[in-house]
A and B are shown apart, each in its own frame.
Chain A
Amino acid sequence: MHQTTYHRPSSVDEAASLFAKGSDAKYLAGGHTLIPVMKQRLASPSDVIDLGKIKELIGVEATGDGIVVKSATTHYDVASSETVRKAIPALAYLASLIGDPAVRHRGTIGGSLANNDPAADYPAAVLALGAIVKTNKRSISADDFFKGLFSTALEDGEIITAVSFPVQAKAGYAKFNHPASRFALTGVFVAKTPAGDVRVAATGASQSGVMRVGAIEAALKANWSAGAIDAVKISADGLLNDIHGTADYRANLVKVMAQRAVQAAG
Chain B
Amino acid sequence: MGVEGIGASVVRKEDRRFITGKGRYVDDIKLVGMTHAHFIRSPHAHAKIKSIDTSEAMKMPGVVGVLTGQQIVDDKIGNLICGWAITSKDGTGMKMGAWPAMAPETVRFVGQAVAVVIAETKNQARDAAEAVVVNYEELPAVPDIRAAIKPGAPQLHPEAPGNVIYDWVIGDEGATDAAFKSAANVVSLDITNNRLVPNAMEPRAAIAEYNEPEEHFTLYTTSQNPHVARLVLSAFYNIAQEHKLRVVAPDVGGGFGSKIFIYPEEMVALWASKKVGRPVKWTGDRTEAFLTDAHGRDHLTKAEMAFDKDNKVTGLRVKTYANLGGYMSLFSSSVPTYLYATLLSGQYNIPNIFAEVISVYTNTVPVDAYRGAGRPEASFVVERLMETAARQLKVDPAELRRKNFITQFPHQTPVIMAYDIGDFGASLDAAMKAIDYAGFAARKAKAKSEGKLRGIGVSCYIEACGIAPSKAVGSLGAGVGLWESAEVRVNPVGTIEILTGSHSHGQGHETTFCQLIADRLGVPISQVSIVHGDTDKVQFGMGTYGSRSAAVGLTAILKAMEKVEAKAKKIAAHQLEASENDIVIENGEFKVAGTDKSLALPMVALAAYTAHNLPDGMEPGLKEGAFYDPTNFTFPAGAYICEMEVDAATGKSSFVNFVAADDFGRLINPMIVEGQVHGGLAQGIGQALLEGVVYDASGQLLTASFMDYTMPRADDLPSFKLSHTTTLCPGNPLGVKGCGEAGAIGASAAVINAITDAIGNNKLEMPATPDRVWHAIHG
Residues in A lying within 8 Å of B, measured CB to CB = 1-2, 40-41, 176, 179-181, 185, 243-246, 249, 252-253, 256
Q: Which residues of A contact B709 (CB under 8 A)?
A: 180
3 smallest CB-CB distances across A and B, nearest first, come from A180-B710, A179-B710, A181-B707
Q: Would you call B708 and A181 a contact (CB within 8 A)?
A: yes
B123 within 8 A of A: yes
Q: Would you call A253 and B769 a contact (CB within 8 A)?
A: no
Q: Which of A41, A246, A249, A256 contacts B126 (CB 8 A)?
A: A41
Q: Which residues of B contact A185 (CB under 8 A)?
A: 770
CB distance from A199 to the nearest CB of B (A): 23
Q: Which of A1, A2, A244, A256 contacts B771 (CB 8 A)?
A: A244
Q: Would you call B650 and A244 a contact (CB within 8 A)?
A: no
Tell me whether A243 and B774 are in contact in the complex, defined as CB-CB below 8 angstroms, given that A179-B690, A179-B769 are known contacts: no
Show 14 residue pairs from A and B whose CB-CB distance is below 8 angstroms, ordered by the A residue.
A2-B127, A40-B287, A180-B703, A180-B709, A180-B711, A181-B706, A243-B694, A243-B708, A244-B769, A249-B770, A249-B774, A249-B775, A252-B650, A256-B650
B31 within 8 A of A: no
Q: Would you call A180 and B771 a contact (CB within 8 A)?
A: no
A252 to B652, CA, bound (A): 13
Q: Which of B123, B130, B708 contacts A180 (CB 8 A)?
A: B708
Q: Which residues of B contact A41 (CB under 8 A)?
A: 126, 130
A32 to B226, CA, bound (A): 38
CB distance from A190 to the nearest CB of B (A): 16
Cβ-closest chain B residue relative to A180: B710
B106-146 at interface with A (beta carbon < 8 Å): 123, 126-127, 130
Q: Mark B674-700, 1 if CB is under 8 A from A, else 0.
A: 000000000000000010001000000
B442 within 8 A of A: no
Q: Which residues of A contact B650 (CB under 8 A)?
A: 176, 252-253, 256
Q: Would you call A243 and B710 a contact (CB within 8 A)?
A: no
Q: Which residues of A contact B770 (CB under 8 A)?
A: 176, 179, 185, 249
CB distance from B778 to the nearest CB of A (A): 8
B649 within 8 A of A: yes
Name the residue among A180, A252, A253 with the largest chain B CB count within 10 angstroms. A180
B702 within 8 A of A: yes
Q: Would you call B706 and A256 a contact (CB within 8 A)?
A: no
CB distance from B690 to the nearest CB of A (A): 6
Q: Would you call A243 and B703 a contact (CB within 8 A)?
A: yes
Q: Which of B703, B707, B774 contacts A252 (CB 8 A)?
A: B774
A243 to B697, CA, bound (A): 13
Q: Would you call B123 and A245 a contact (CB within 8 A)?
A: no
Cβ-closest chain B residue relative to A253: B650
B454-489 at interface with A (beta carbon < 8 Å): none
B616-655 at interface with A (beta carbon < 8 Å): 649-652
Cβ-closest chain A residue relative to B706: A180
CB distance from A149 to the nearest CB of B (A): 16
Q: Which residues of A contact B649 (CB under 8 A)?
A: 252, 256
Tell me whether A246 and B707 are in contact in the complex, defined as CB-CB below 8 angstroms, given that A253-B650, A256-B649 are known contacts: no
CB distance from B31 to the nearest CB of A (A): 24
B659-685 at interface with A (beta carbon < 8 Å): none
Known: A243-B708, A249-B771, A249-B775. 16 other contacts (CB 8 A): A1-B123, A176-B650, A180-B703, A180-B708, A180-B710, A181-B706, A181-B708, A185-B770, A243-B702, A243-B703, A244-B771, A245-B771, A249-B774, A252-B650, A252-B774, A256-B650
Q: Which residues of B contact A1 (CB under 8 A)?
A: 123
A41 to B125, CA, bound (A): 13
Q: Which residues of B contact A243 (CB under 8 A)?
A: 694, 702-703, 708
Cβ-closest chain A residue relative to B129: A41
Q: Which residues of A contact B710 (CB under 8 A)?
A: 179-180
Name the residue among B126, B652, B702, B707 with the largest chain A CB count within 10 angstroms. B707
CB distance from B35 to the nearest CB of A (A): 19
Q: Which residues of A contact B708 (CB under 8 A)?
A: 180-181, 243-244
A243 to B771, CA, bound (A): 9
Cβ-closest chain B residue relative to A186: B650
Q: Which residues of B contact A252 (CB under 8 A)?
A: 649-650, 774, 778
Cβ-closest chain B residue relative to A181: B707
Q: Mark B699-737, 1 if CB is under 8 A from A, else 0.
A: 000110011111100000000000000000000000000
A189 to B703, CA, bound (A): 29
A252 to B703, CA, bound (A): 24
CB distance from B36 to the nearest CB of A (A): 15
Q: Which residues of B contact A179 (CB under 8 A)?
A: 690, 710, 769-770
CB distance from A33 to the nearest CB of B (A): 11
Cβ-closest chain A residue relative to B771: A249
Q: Which residues of A contact B775 (CB under 8 A)?
A: 246, 249
A40 to B285, CA, bound (A): 11
A133 to B568, CA, bound (A): 82
Q: Which residues of B contact A253 (CB under 8 A)?
A: 650
Q: Which residues of A contact B707 (CB under 8 A)?
A: 180-181
Q: Which residues of B contact A176 (CB under 8 A)?
A: 650, 652, 770
A253 to B771, CA, bound (A): 10
Q: Which residues of A contact B690 (CB under 8 A)?
A: 179-180
CB distance from A83 to the nearest CB of B (A): 29
CB distance from A104 to the nearest CB of B (A): 15
A256 to B777, CA, bound (A): 15
Cβ-closest chain A residue relative to B651: A249
A246 to B127, CA, bound (A): 39
A245 to B770, CA, bound (A): 8
Q: Which residues of A contact B694 (CB under 8 A)?
A: 243
CB distance from A240 to the nearest CB of B (A): 12
CB distance from B150 to the nearest CB of A (A): 23
Cβ-closest chain A residue relative to B709: A180
CB distance from A54 to the nearest CB of B (A): 29
CB distance from B28 to the nearest CB of A (A): 21
CB distance from B756 to the nearest CB of A (A): 19
Cβ-closest chain A residue relative to B285: A39
A102 to B378, CA, bound (A): 40
CB distance from A38 to the nearest CB of B (A): 12
A185 to B690, CA, bound (A): 14
Q: Which residues of A contact B711 (CB under 8 A)?
A: 180
Cβ-closest chain A residue relative to B707: A181
Cβ-closest chain B residue relative to A246: B771
Q: Which residues of B contact A249 (CB under 8 A)?
A: 651, 770-771, 774-775
A180 to B712, CA, bound (A): 9
CB distance from A263 to the nearest CB of B (A): 12
Cβ-closest chain B residue relative to A40: B287
A1 to B285, CA, bound (A): 13
Q: Which residues of B contact A180 (CB under 8 A)?
A: 690, 703, 706-711
Name the residue among B650, B702, B711, B771 with the largest chain A CB count within 10 angstroms. B771
Cβ-closest chain B residue relative to A255: B649
Cβ-closest chain B residue relative to A182: B713
Q: Which residues of A contact B652 (CB under 8 A)?
A: 176
Name the residue among A40, A179, A181, A244 with the largest chain B CB count within 10 angstroms. A179
Cβ-closest chain B residue relative to A245: B771
Cβ-closest chain A residue relative to B689: A179
Q: Which residues of A contact B130 (CB under 8 A)?
A: 41
Cβ-closest chain A residue relative to B287: A40
Cβ-closest chain A residue relative to B690: A179
CB distance from B121 to the nearest CB of A (A): 12
Q: Mark B527-548, 1 if CB is under 8 A from A, else 0.
A: 0000000000000000000000
